[in-house]
Structure formats: C-alpha cells, structure tokens
C-alpha cells in the first residue's frame, strides 16, 4: 500500500540520547547470513529498528512472517511494498532459524494481510507449532495485526499456544485517523480484550509510540485504556521517522519523561513496563519472558540448556557477558 508523502520541515533536531551504534560484529554477521540463507525477514531490518546493533550483538532477532509487503498505509511505518504470495514453507524455516540461534524466547511478528481470508492467522498458528516442535522449551511471543476484528482468526492463533500475544495500540485515539487511517482504536482495544476472554491464562502485551502529536493527558488515557483491556505488559518508545514519506516527529521526549510514564503505568497495574526513547515492542523480550516465568535464565557457563531441547549443537553466536538473575 503506497503511503502519502509528508514533506514538511517541522521535525525537531534529533537529541543526543537518540544516537545508536552502527550495526556490526560477529553476531550481527552471523544472524544476517543465517536469515539471508533461510530467505527470512526480520522486523529489525524491515522497520529500521534503532536497536538492531544491540539486539543482534546479543544474538536476538524478531522474525517477520507473511512476507515483506503490507496492505495497510500506517503513516509511521517503514514497511512498504505489495503483499507477496503466501510462502507455506516459511514457518518451518523460521523454526529452524530459532533452533540454529539457540533462542530461549522466539518473537514473531508480521505485516498486515487483509488480502488473506484469515488475515494470516493460520500461518501464525503453523509457525508457532513448528517452533514448539523444534524447540519445545522455548518461549514463544507473537505480535499480531488486528485481523480485521475476526474472533475466529484470533482463536486460531491462541489455539496454537503462544506464551505471549501482543498487539500494539501504537498511538492515542485522537490520532488514529491520521496515523493509522485503516485501523480503529476501539477495534484494537477489543482485540486485546477478546484475547483475554478466549484464554485468560495467555499473557497480553501492547505498545505505544510517542512523538506524533499526542498530549500527556492522551498518553495517560491510552495507558489506562490498555490496562483496562487486561494487558499485562506495556512498551513505550520514541517515534523515529523512517523515511521522507512518513509522518514527521513532533517532539522528542526526554528519558525522564519516559521514566515518569513508566511509573504511571506501573501504578495503573501493569506487571511489566519497558519505557525509553529507543524501546520497541520486542526490546528485551527474553528478559521479560524470564521475569514472567515463561523461561528460565541460562545456567552459568557457556552451554545454554535449551540448545539440547532444540536438538541443535551450540550455535556460533557469541553470548555477551551479561549478569542475569537465576530463577529460584
């Protein structure tokens, strides 16, 4: 879906706290080659994520299924292009990549595919099942589109047994017609509510971008709306304009503002909140899964016990020395 041009020159100067390291290093190249060899997409690249250097260095990546072309025209999004024919072997290749990387927690997202009868729900379900078959002890998180409000599509995904189901609200109600002209604020909230109705045990997650013209009162109201939908995990990050055709940034929020909003969200009742200028939906997703009891922290030493469960030899991805709390 072609996006409208947005050629104003009102974007404020990018502050120092937005600067990130350039991609590179052994792990980055390992993941890039593995992904390319398998013919897979990652949202890290397709959405121009600012954390790609950090996440790929740590050996983490978020897989994007259903192709690399979207049927929506969200004005903030860096994903563009026409939808491609459904690749029915993609779920198997994603699962093999998860196993090859030895992931404790796999995150899978997608473009929106309104052209498919089920919105791609069956493809999500197959991907979840393939990952579970190859890595039975890995956590599985999916970040899904709204499926055009189809309860049946949502039931299909949930029946496959993901540990976390995410759907991003992205912005405030007032801005939806401008930012997400083919989506609906109440419909997205309803999807999150329905997910909890279908499976109360499933952990739900949502995310917001700041810097599109919202007020602080609107942000707080959106946080409250998301929590009222039963969502347990929230991410908040700074909107960064991915290309000249996308919306301008209206404001760069200071890290202290993100910290204040995190405290507000915690007081609202969220179990986990990630809030900061560079936070994105799957940022520190494995650490969140550990905190929620979905996965266990790796044992001390070089061998990750989950690699045996995946039926794979230790992959050649170097693990940075990060001190993590072992679950009791």
As annotated, the binding site for [4Fe-4S] cluster includes 44, 49, 55, 70, 74, 77, 282
Binding-site positions read 44, 49, 55, 70, 74, 77, 282
Where are the alpha helices (H) located in the chain, listed in sequence order?
Answer: 26-38, 43-46, 52-57, 90-101, 121-134, 151-159, 176-179, 185-198, 216-228, 255-268, 285-291, 306-310
- Burial of 36 (C-beta count, 10 Å sphere; 0-12/13-18/19+): exposed
Helix (H, G, I), strand (E, B), or coil: what is residue 18?
helix
Residues 160, 203: Cα–Cα separation, whole Å? 14
Residues 191, 212: Cα–Cα separation, whole Å? 23
Can you count the helices (H) and strands (E) in the chain?
12, 8
Residues 81, 236: Cα–Cα separation, whole Å? 27
DSSP for 186-227?
A: HHHHHHHHHHHHH-TTSEEEEEEEE-SS--HHHHHHHHHHHH
């Amino acid at each position: 879906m072609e996006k409208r041009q947005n050629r104003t020159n009102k974007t404020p100067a990018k502050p120092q706290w937005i600067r990130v390291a350039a991609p590179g290093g052994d792990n980055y190249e390992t993941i890039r080659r593995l992904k390319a060899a398998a013919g897979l997409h990652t949202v890290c690249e397709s959405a121009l994520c600012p954390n790609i250097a950090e996440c790929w260095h740590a050996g983490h990546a978020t897989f994007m299924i259903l192709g690399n072309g979207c049927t929506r025209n969200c004005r903030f999004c860096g994903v563009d292009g026409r939808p491609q024919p459904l690749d029915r072997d993609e779920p198997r290749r994603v699962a093999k990549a998860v196993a090859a990387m030895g992931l404790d927690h796999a995150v899978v997202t997608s473009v929106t595919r309104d052209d498919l009868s089920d919105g791609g729900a069956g493809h999500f379900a197959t991907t979840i099942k393939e990952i579970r078959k190859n890595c039975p002890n890995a956590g599985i998180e999916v970040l899904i589109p709204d499926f055009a409000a189809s309860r049946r599509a949502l039931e299909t995904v949930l029946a496959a047994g993901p540990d976390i189901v995410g759907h991003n609200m992205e912005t405030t109600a007032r801005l939806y017609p401008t930012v997400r002209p083919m989506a609906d604020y109440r419909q997205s909230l309803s999807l999150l509510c329905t997910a909890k109705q279908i499976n109360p045990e499933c952990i739900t997650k949502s995310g917001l971008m700041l810097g599109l013209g919202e007020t602080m009162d609107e942000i707080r109201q959106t946080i409250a709306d998301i929590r009222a939908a039963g969502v347990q995990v929230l991410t908040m990050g700074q909107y960064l304009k991915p290309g000249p055709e996308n919306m301008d940034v209206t404001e760069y929020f200071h890290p202290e503002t993100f910290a204040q909003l995190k405290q507000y969200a915690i007081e609202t009742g969220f179990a986990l909140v990630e809030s900061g200028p560079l936070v994105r939906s799957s940022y520190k997703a494995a650490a969140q899964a550990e905190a929620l009891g979905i996965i266990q922290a790796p044992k001390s030493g070089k061998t990750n016990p989950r690699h045996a469960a995946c039926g794979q030899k230790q992959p050649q991805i170097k693990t940075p020395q990060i001190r993590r709390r072992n679950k009791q």
